[in-house]
Amino acid sequence: MTITGLVAILLAAITTNNFVLSKFLGICPFLGVSKKTDTALGMSAAVIFVMVLAAAVTYPLNVLLENHDMAYLQTIVQILVIASLVQFVEIVLKKYIPALYNSLGIYLPLITTNCAVLGVVQLNVQSGYGFVASVVNALGGGLGFMVAMLMFSGVRERLEGNDYPKFWDGLPITLVAAAITACSFLGFTGLVEGIFGA
Amino acid sequence: MAEKKTLGQEFSKGLIKENPVLRLVLGTCPTLAVSTSIENAIGMGIAATIVLICSNIVISALRKVIPNKVRIPCYIVVIAAFVTIVQLVVKAFAPSLDEALGIYLPLIVVNCIILGRAEGFANKNGVVASAVDGIGMGVGFTIALTLMAAIREFFGSGNLTLKVIGYGTTLQDVFKLGETDILTAIGLEPILIFILAPGGFFTFGLLMACANRIAESKGKPKAELKSCEDCPMAASCSLKADGKECAE
């Protein structure tokens, strides 16, 4: 795959195919951990880390399964690999890099059942990406998650203390704010095709 | 479960009182993603319900065999196995549904409704009660999904596909409108954004506000995103062991 193709994948994953705001993957942390900008940043960093690692680790396993006509086992293998990978990363960080563990570690348990991680792995299989393209797609997806989280945490900080109807308080108003944030991402439609003429 | 409930109550609690989507706020990702048409919503609902019932039965039957410390990985394997079965069946018998649901079909594995019920119900209750709980929760999920899809599809495309896995009709055909949609026929225009991503968030917020309004009139607390102690991952979460607070 050419460099242009890789840049197109990266850019598309961040903007037009944003994981949170156009593919609805990873909504739980998006709504749950976006109250403050610094927690949003920590969570997104952990997600990027795990997504890239998961894409890199599952790619050879997928190839192995496909070569042995066992592609139907992909879902089971992927989720097990991701779950053990997250645990493993957590233990290693705790032992060897406590500083990083203290800033990212608390978000790691939340990531195992985050559909963005399994989602990116599944998307890579479906799109037939090679190793580099898979990793780039995962990186783009993670960065897109970070962009969405940061934007949204800003919006939510502005929402605090505002006066809205009683029954919209809490989750409903957060969802409406997310709708408006998602609207802004509609502006990216056609961006990647426009630049790279795909 | 503090008090013993009858099977009827186990079934009906999932429909409204403890509706997984609108009251427990679980499974938000598939709810937002596949609610663009009623056909997709019902297909997704049925697929998730089958997985939920099967995994609830198996996990409940194995609850005394599975060692407590490794139960979450065990649950995930059981759930992933059933998801794979459903995925293959859908691919074989309803290829158009498989195409429409895309990656959201395998993503049922990480749907927190299923893991949540395994951890919160099936590992404490008998096989029959767990199966009934699975049916109730699954139907509740399907109802919420269909409701959302109906709103989004009607306002977004001016049509309703009253179909289940390819069988059925559309509202356009019922009124014999040909290619014209209902909203255009009565002199309005479809609001395309309802089908797009922002419409999903907006409709979900709208339904959530309605659910909160109804809950308030019944004296129940409003729906909130799960806090740490209700989280299905709480038991295996390393934060608890360290005595730290959850990321939220």
Summarised one tens digit per residue, pLDDT across range B94-111 is 888 888 888 889 888 888
Q: Is B243 helix (H, G, I), strand (E, B) or coil?
A: coil
Identify whether A123 is part of a domain. Answer: yes
Is residue B112, in this structure, part of any structural domain at all?
A: yes
Q: How confident is the model at residue B231 (pLDDT cuts 50, 70, 90)?
A: low
Give dist(CA A112, CA B30) in Å, integer.
17
Read off the pLDDT of residues A173-185 as tens digits, 9 standing for 90 and up. 889 999 998 998 8
A92 within a domain of the structure (yes/no): yes
8 Å CB contact of B201 and A182: yes
Q: Could you tell me which residue, B19 or B242, shows the higher pLDDT?
A: B19
Split at pLDDT 50, 70, 90, the class of A101 is confident
Interval A107-127 mean pLDDT: 82
- Whether B237 maps to a domain, the answer reads no
Residues of chain B contacting A88 with CB distance shorter than 8 Å: none
Give per-residue pLDDT as tens, B191-212. Answer: 888 888 899 999 999 999 998 8
Q: Is the pLDDT of residue B133 over 80?
A: yes
End-to-end CA distance of chain B: 26
Nearest to B247 among A33, A119, A172 (CB): A33
Residues recorded for chain A: 198
| Mean pLDDT for the stretch of residues B82-89 | 94
- Average pLDDT of the residues in B114-119: 86
CB contact under 8 A, A76 and B77: yes
Span B1-45, pLDDT tens digits? 445 678 888 888 878 788 888 888 888 888 888 888 888 899 999
Q: What is the mean pLDDT of residues A4-23?
A: 88
Looking at the predicted structure, is the pLDDT value of residue B220 above 90? Answer: no
- B57/B118 Cα distance (integer angstroms): 9
DSSP A18-79: -TTTTT--SHHHHHHS-SSHHHHHHHHHHHHHHHHHHHHHHHHHHHHHHHTT-GGGHHHHHH
A23 has a pLDDT exceeding 90: no
Cβ contact, residue pair B247, A106, below 8 Å: yes
Position B3 scores a pLDDT of: 52
Nearest residue of B to residue A182 by CA position? B198
State yes or no: pLDDT of B145 exceeds 60.
yes
Long-range Cβ contacts of A84-88 (<8 Å, 24+ apart) = A84/B73, A85/A50, A85/A53, A85/A54, A85/A57, A86/A50, A86/A111, A86/A112, A87/A112
Tell me whether residues A80 and B205 touch, CB distance under 8 A.
no
Share of chain B above pLDDT 90, in %: 30
**Per mean pLDDT, which range of A102-106, A126-130, A160-164, B4-8 is the poorest?**
A102-106
Give B236's pLDDT tier (boundaries 50, 70, 90): low
Which domain range does residue A166 map to?
Answer: 8-191
Tell me phi and psi for residue B106, to 5 degrees.
-65, -25
How many domains, in total, are found in chain A?
1
Cβ contact B213–A167 (<8 Å):
yes
How many angstroms separate the CA atoms of A46 and A62, rounded? 24
Judging contacts by C-beta atoms under 8 Å, the chain B residues touching residue A36 are: none
3-class secondary-structure state, position B226? coil
In a domain, B23, yes or no: yes
CA distance B26 to chain A (A): 9
Q: Are A24 and B200 in contact (CB under 8 A)?
A: yes
- Nearest residue to A104 (alpha-carbon basis) of A92, A121, A120, A116: A92
Question: Taking CB atoms and an 8 Å limit, are A168 and B205 in contact across chains?
Answer: yes
Mutation site for A-interface testing, chosen from B113, B206, B208 by largest number of A Cβ within 10 Å: B208
Task: Encode burial over A45-66: b for 16+ CB neighbours within 10 A, e otherwise.
Answer: bbbbbbbbbbbeebbebbeebe
Residue A14: count of CB within 10 angstroms of its CB:
24
d(CA A53, CA A73): 20
pLDDT reading at B55 higher than 90 = yes
Contact B103 A122 (CB under 8 A): yes
- Local confidence band at A33 (pLDDT 50, 70, 90 cut-offs): confident
- Predicted local confidence at residue B4, as pLDDT: 62
* Residue A86 reports pLDDT greater than 70: yes
Inform me whether the pLDDT recorded for A71 exceeds 50: yes
The band of B233, judged by pLDDT with boundaries at 50, 70 and 90, is low
Of residues B81 and B188, the one with the higher pLDDT is B81
Closest residue by Cα to residue A25 from B225, B33, B25 = B33
A43 band by pLDDT with thresholds 50, 70 and 90: confident
Of the listed ranges A92-106, B99-113, B216-230, the least confidently predicted one is B216-230
Of B213, B222, B247, the CB nearest to A43: B247
- Prediction pTM value: 0.87
Res. B247 pLDDT band, cuts 50 70 90: very low
Lowest mean pLDDT among A94-103, A106-115, B16-25: A106-115
A68 domain-assigned: yes
**A83 within domain boundaries:** yes
Q: Looking at the 3D structure of chain B, how many domains does it have?
A: 1
What value does the mean pLDDT of chain B take?
A: 82
Q: CA–CA separation, B75 vs B68, rounded Å?
A: 11
B237 pLDDT exceeds 60?
A: no
Residue B157 in domain = yes
Q: What is the mean pLDDT of residues B215-244?
A: 61
Mean pLDDT over A105-126 rounds to 81
B234 to chain A nearest CA, in Å? 9
Q: Does B76 fall in a domain?
A: yes
In this prediction, residue A58 carries a pLDDT of: 92
pLDDT, mean over chain A: 86
Task: Calculate mean pLDDT across residues A9-20.
Answer: 88
Q: Examine residue B19 and state whether it is found in any structural domain, yes or no.
A: yes
| Within-domain flag for B70 | yes
Specify the pLDDT at position B234.
54
Q: Which residue has the higher pLDDT, A134 or A192?
A: A134
For residue A189, what pLDDT is reported? 82
Complex ipTM, two decimals?
Answer: 0.86
A39, A76, A112: residue with CB nearest B247: A39
Positive or negative: CA dihedral A30, B136, B45, B38: negative
* Owning domain of residue B120: 11-226
C-alpha Rg value of chain B to the nearest Å: 19
B52 vs A98, higher pLDDT: B52
What is the model's pLDDT at position A87? Answer: 82
Q: Nearest CA to CA, how far is A122 from chain B (Å)?
A: 6
Q: How many beta carbons lie within 10 A of that of residue A152, not counting itself?
A: 24
Chain B positions in Cβ-Cβ contact with residue A65 (cut-off 8 Å): none
Q: Reduced to 3 states, what is the DSSP secondary structure of residue A112?
A: coil
User: Does any domain span residue B234?
Assistant: no
Tokens of B228: 């740490």
Closest partner residue to B28 (CB to CB) among A27, A79, A110 is: A27
Please, are residues B231 and B24 in contact by the beta-carbon 8 Å criterion? no
Which residues lie closer than 8 Å to A66 by C-beta, 6 or more apart? none
Q: Which stretches does DSSP call E strand in B148-203? A: 161-164, 167-170
Q: Which residues contact B206 (CB under 8 A, 6 or more apart)?
A: A172, A176, B151
